[in-house]
């Protein structure tokens, strides 16, 4: 008999969270009984079955900002998840608690159920201490940073097994949090090639005489879309290159600010903000792209993180321009052209290099496709996830 798994997720809905969706679906397909607790999205029922996975959703509060806002959001969400976990504990029950951070406050729920003999898997999505510094910088409060470090360490130490998204995270788990190497498994963010496929190019997104650039992903204050907008301004003013349309696909905390910035930079005729797009529709935009961009600036968080967007770019054979960050190099290798970190002018110059070289774009795109197909696709990562469960499955 395979184990029953309770998956806890706070910062996204299900199946909207791509990584959690892939993991839960893989576990369900392998015969595990999977229950997910997560926030509800617009119009979603509080309880349903999605591809064999039972989902319980709690109502979300309005979007938070500032310390008190985040404290309220995470405090409320942790309490709501705990109450729904009690319901799941009674019916249908579970043997393993699998938490996805942030927030790392979910460790308290997992710790509670360890008292009843349940196993705990900590899926380390984000370096919360580094993310806090990236978001707030010098305005951040030292005691909050120390609290985040403590919660991360508690999660790592209490977990029966830790899942890392890359080797940079694994190093932190070992060196900062004292986790033995044998209790860590790397499961990368790899695209599911059965779901992400190129589609016919939409002529609305592919305009004659213009190169189509594309950014897909979250638009938070640390994601670098503002760097991209300023690079586009350089294209217009410093290089006299108005022959582009940039698709900005996604949303987030900084979305409204970015739309305002684009207007201030006189980019309204050169950018298209789509807002949030369902995962199934992302391929429509990526398929129209000539060049994709990953403009995350260098900082302690971004330098160590693997961006899902880059794997999606590569999967569809799109040449990519990115700042030269360590994990960007690990992911894309020769499928990307790298600009000096945080240098918007150099980012613009690298974009122009690819705008003027279609053969190079095609060559880089093929490199990316092969890298995904042979190493990074979800089918290769899924095996590592299932190995974790085989190791701790109590049955």
Res 202: pLDDT: 86
CATH number (3.40.50.2020, 3.10.20.740, 3.40.50.2000, 3.40.50.740) of 211-375 reads: 3.40.50.2000
Using the predicted structure, report yes or no on whether residue 46 has a pLDDT greater than 80: yes
Helix, strand or coil, per DSSP, at residue 53:
strand
The pLDDT tens digits for 93-112 are 999 999 999 999 999 999 99
For residue 383, pLDDT beyond 90 = yes
CA angle, 13 then 17 then 18, to 5°: 155
Which helix (H) or strand (E) covers residue 272, if one does? strand 271-275
pLDDT digits (tens, 9 = 90+) for 281-338: 899 999 999 999 999 999 999 999 999 999 999 999 999 999 999 999 999 999 999 9
pTM, 2 dp: 0.93
pLDDT band at 387 (very low <50, low <70, confident <90, very high): very high
Convert the pLDDT of each residue in 18-31 to its tens digit: 999 999 999 999 99
Q: How far apart are CA 178 and CA 373, in angstroms?
A: 34
Query: pLDDT at position 1, please?
Result: 57
Q: State the pLDDT at residue 6.
A: 98
Name the least confident of 63-67, 150-154, 363-367, 373-377.
Answer: 63-67
Domain with CATH 3.40.50.2000 in the chain: 4-190+377-392, 211-375
270 vs 42, more confident? 270
Residue 24: the pLDDT is 97
Q: How confident is the model at residue 234 (pLDDT cuts 50, 70, 90)?
A: very high
Q: Compute the average pLDDT of residues 122-147.
A: 92
Cα separations in angstroms, 376 against 18, 310, 387? 15, 11, 17
For residue 139, the model assigns a pLDDT of 83
pLDDT value at position 297?
98
Q: Which of the two residues, 239 and 11, has the higher pLDDT score?
A: 239
* pLDDT above 90: residue 41: no
pLDDT given at position 393: 72
Q: Which CATH superfamily is domain 4-190+377-392 in?
A: Glycogen Phosphorylase B; (3.40.50.2000)
Collapsing DSSP to helix, strand or coil, 108 comes out as helix
The mean pLDDT value for 152-160 works out to: 98
Q: Tens digits of per-residue pLDDT, 162-182?
A: 999 999 999 999 999 999 999
Q: What percent of the chain has pLDDT over 90?
A: 83
3-class DSSP state of 145 = helix
The answer to whether residue 66 scores a pLDDT higher than 70 is no
| C-beta of residue 103 within 8 angstroms of C-beta of residue 24 | no
Return the pLDDT at 395: 55
- pLDDT at position 21 is 96
Let me know: does 165 contact 145? Beta carbons within 8 Å: no
C-alpha atoms less than 13 angstroms from C-alpha of 342 in its C-beta half-sphere:
6
Q: What is the largest CA-CA distance in the chain?
A: 66
The pLDDT value recorded for residue 366 is: 97
**Cβ–Cβ under 8 Å, residues 128 and 300:** no
What mean pLDDT is reported for the chain? 94
Cα distance between residue 347 and residue 1, in whole Å: 53
Crossing angle (nearest 10°) for helices 106-114 and 142-158 = 30
pLDDT reading at 394 higher than 80: no
């Amino acid at each position: 008999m395979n184990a029953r798994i309770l998956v806890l997720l706070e910062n996204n809905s299900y199946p909207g969270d791509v990584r959690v969706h892939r993991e839960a679906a893989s576990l369900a397909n392998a015969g595990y009984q999977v229950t997910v607790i997560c926030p509800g999205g617009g119009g979603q029922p509080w309880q349903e079955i999605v591809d064999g996975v039972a989902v319980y959703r709690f109502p979300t509060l309005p979007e938070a900002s500032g310390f008190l806002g985040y404290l309220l959001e995470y405090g409320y969400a942790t309490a709501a998840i705990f109450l729904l976990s009690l319901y799941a504990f009674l019916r249908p029950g579970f043997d393993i608690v699998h938490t996805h951070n942030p927030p790392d406050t979910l460790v308290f729920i997992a710790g509670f159920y360890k008292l009843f003999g349940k196993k705990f898997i900590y899926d380390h999505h984000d370096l919360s201490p580094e993310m806090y510094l990236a978001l707030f910088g010098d305005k951040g409060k030292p005691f909050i940073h120390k609290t985040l470090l403590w919660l991360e360490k508690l999660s790592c130490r209490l977990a029966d097994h830790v899942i890392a998204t890359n080797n940079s995270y694994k190093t932190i788990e070992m060196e900062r949090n004292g986790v033995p190497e044998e209790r860590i498994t790397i499961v990368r963010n790899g695209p599911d090639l059965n779901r992400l496929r190129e589609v016919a190019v939409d002529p609305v997104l592919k305009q004659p005489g213009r190169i189509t650039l594309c950014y897909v992903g979250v638009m938070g204050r640390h994601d670098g879309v503002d760097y991209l907008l300023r690079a586009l301004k350089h294209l217009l003013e410093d290089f006299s290159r108005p022959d582009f349309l940039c698709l900005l696909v996604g949303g987030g905390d900084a979305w409204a600010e970015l739309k305002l910035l684009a207007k201030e930079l006189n980019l309204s005729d050169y950018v298209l903000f789509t807002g949030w797009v369902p995962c199934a529709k992302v391929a429509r935009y990526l398929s129209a792209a000539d060049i994709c961009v990953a403009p995350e600036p260098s900082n302690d968080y971004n330098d160590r993180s693997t961006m899902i967007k880059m794997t999606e770019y590569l999967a569809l054979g799109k040449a990519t321009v990115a700042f030269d960050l360590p994990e960007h190099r690990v992911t894309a290798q020769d499928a990307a052209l790298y600009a000096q970190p945080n240098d918007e002018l150099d980012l613009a110059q690298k974009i122009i290099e690819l705008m003027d070289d279609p053969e190079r774009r095609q060559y880089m795109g093929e490199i990316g496709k092969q890298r995904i197909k042979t190493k990074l696709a979800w089918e290769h990562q899924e095996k590592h996830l299932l190995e974790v469960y085989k190791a701790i499955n109590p049955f």
